[in-house]
Amino acid sequence: MVQIKAGTKLFSAVCDTQIMVLRVPSDDLDVTCGGLPMQAEEAEEKSAMTGEAGEGSLVGKRYVDEEETMEFLCTRGGEGNISVNGVALEVKQAKRLPSSD
């Protein structure tokens, strides 16, 4: 398990997925992608995915738990699904804002 805080980068052990921690509660979290724990460094060789195939992760999407106690930004997408403590995260619904720039 990796000690994580806001700003921590995590890499999937099974696919291209990379995420960045935006906010997390202080509890210990087991962050997995494609069934295996996410790591602080990119592995040279990826392992096989365990568990069911899903939609994978999408770059630029924000992932949250149901109560939105934690939030991650997907900085590179991949085939693995992201879960925390065994529960799949959901894509946070975007607030629509007009472009001001």
Q: What is the rounded CA–CA span in Å between residue 21 and residue 2?
A: 12
Helix and strand counts by DSSP (H, E) for the chain: 0, 9
2 in contact with another protein (CB under 8 A): no
- Which residues share a beta bridge with 87? 84
Closest CA to 65 of 95, 31, 20, 15: 31
Residue 87 Cβ vs another protein, minimum distance, rounded to whole Å: 23
What is the nearest approach in angstroms of another protein to the Cβ of residue 52?
26
Question: Looking at beta carbons only, is 5 or 28 nearer to another protein?
Answer: 5
- For residue 92, what are its two tokens? 């946070």
Does residue 100 touch another protein according to CB under 8 A?
Answer: yes
- Written as one string, the DSSP assignment of 22-37 is EE--SS---EEETTEE
Q: Which stretch binds another protein (CB under 8 A): 32-40, 43-51, 70-78, 80-88?
A: 70-78
**97 contacts another protein (rule: CB under 8 A):** yes
CB 85, min distance to another protein, A: 24
Which positions touch another protein (CB under 8 A)?
Answer: 6-7, 9, 20, 22, 59-62, 73, 75-77, 94-95, 97-101
